[in-house]
Amino acid sequence: MGWEEQVRRVVPYIPGEQPKQKGIIKLNTNECPYPPSPLVKQKAAEFQTDDLRLYPDPDASLLVKALADYYGVKEDHIFTGVGSDDVLAMSFLTFFNSDKPILFPDITYSFYDVWAELFHIPYRTPALDEAFRLKKEDYLCENGGIIIPNPNAPTGLSEELDTIEAIVAGNPDSLVIIDEAYVDFGGKSAIGLVDKYENLLVVRTFSKSRAMAGIRIGFAVGSSRVIRYLKDVKFSFNSYTMNAPSIAWGAASILDDGYFKETVGKIINTRERVKKELRELGFTFPDSRSNFLFVSHKSIPAAELFEALKQEGIYVRYFNKPRINNYLRITIGTDEEMDRLLTFLNNMAVPR
Ligand code: PMP
């Protein structure tokens, strides 16, 4: 009808499944298999629910201060949001506002094109090379902004900081966002470049390495000028994105660095062991620096493996998209979970 012609029509992003049944092995959404820091548990127990009657601190100062101290930057270099999806969406809205196309790789986080469509931002997706590597030259041309995840998803590959710096330095007229959702698992962070380049914004999340996907915390580090623009848009949209528990528990997570490093270390060790075992079973994959592997089998089609694993109660992610429809993205779980996966794959792969 008439009113429907005015509707902002979108094709939404489809998040990975969150199955309800118990006892499954969930390796499909890159969550952490270990709990958050015990300090978060303690803060949760101490939390005064009576205080929920008050609005939260719109500046999330406690969390911002903890992050500023941890990363050695000033507080006005930090922006926080409801998961990095919120931070990224705000960043698209704030900085990608030209008639020139923004750039991001053809194989990448599948939310980028959804935001571009939602905000009517033109975009181009230069193809990664055969080995899923980024070609720097593709990003040294006229554009309306750039977003690159490093490590990339779903490949898990990490690009050298020199490559990232060359792209940022070569685009003084564009805002360059580096999405570092997975950097804690062995990538190289661009946070150190923020002082040098005013056009750089680095986006991070508590959902993976900090085991807090359920509380929804993301943040960005950038020059004070970039952060100010981001805050202006956020405060024109919703002042109270960060709720009180997020602020308190997020700050607690940052303070417990010992636990954080131990957890990340365990996941990296498991990942490296699983890489060896999968190789022996006939799988190939890019050399992941993230908390997941992007695997392809020499003879069993990925779609078939996906279904067989699901029947077994093991959930992984399959993208039925050009170039990657013979790959599975498998999150690194606990050693026990990965052993169950490997045993199943071993039985399945043997008769081939
Ligand atoms: N960036 C990338 C590359 C991701 O894979 C994800 C996870 N889906 C996110 C950002 C968003 O994570 P969150 O909103 O939980 O911080």
Pocket test for ligand 1, best of 86, 91, 177, 179 (most atoms within 8 A of CB): 179
Q: How far apart are CA 208 and CA 347, in angstroms?
A: 30
Stretch 42-59: mean pLDDT, rounded? Answer: 97
- 277 pLDDT higher than 60: yes
- 350 pLDDT higher than 70: no
Per-residue pLDDT of 69-83, as tens digits, reads 999 999 999 999 999
Nearest CA to ligand 1 atom 12: 84
- State the average pLDDT for the chain: 97
- 16 pLDDT higher than 90: no
Q: How far apart are CA 295 and CA 214, in angstroms?
A: 27
Q: 78-81 and 317-318: which strand pairing?
A: unpaired
Tokens of 225: 């000028």
Give the residue carrying structure tokens 């960060």: 242
Cβ neighbors of 46 (< 8 A, separation 6 or more) are: none
pLDDT band at 209 (very low <50, low <70, confident <90, very high): very high
* Domain 19-35+258-347: assigned CATH number: 3.90.1150.10
What pLDDT sits at residue 17?
A: 87
- Cα(299) to ligand 1 centroid in Å equals 31
Q: Is the peptide bond before 151 cis (omega within 30 degrees of 0)?
A: yes
What pLDDT sits at residue 121?
A: 98
Ligand 1 atom at shortest distance from the alpha carbon of 88: 10
Stretch 1-23: mean pLDDT, rounded? Answer: 91
Per-residue pLDDT of 157-205, as tens digits, reads 999 999 999 999 999 999 999 999 999 999 999 999 999 999 999 999 9
Beta strand segments in the chain, E: 25-26, 78-81, 102-103, 123-124, 146-149, 176-179, 200-205, 218-222, 283-284, 292-297, 314-315, 317-318, 328-331
Q: Which amino acid, 208?
A: K
Q: How far apart are CA 233 and CA 87, in angstroms?
A: 11
Q: Is 244 left (phi over 0), alpha (psi -120 to 50) or beta?
A: alpha
Cβ neighbors of 117 (< 8 A, separation 6 or more) are: 10, 11
Question: Any idea which fold 38-255 has?
Answer: Aspartate Aminotransferase; domain 2 (3.40.640)
- Cα(206) to ligand 1 centroid in Å equals 9
- Cα(29) to ligand 1 centroid in Å equals 9
The whole model's pTM is what?
A: 0.97
The residues spanned by each domain of the chain are 19-35+258-347, 38-255
SS3 264: helix
337, with CB counted inside 10 A (0-12, 13-18, 19+), is: middle
Per-residue pLDDT of 317-349, as tens digits, reads 999 999 999 999 999 999 999 999 999 999 986
Per-residue pLDDT of 189-198, as tens digits, reads 999 999 999 9
Q: Which amino acid, 17?
A: E
To the nearest 10 degrees (0 to 180), the angle between helices 257-280 and 335-349 is 10
- Cα(319) to ligand 1 centroid in Å equals 16
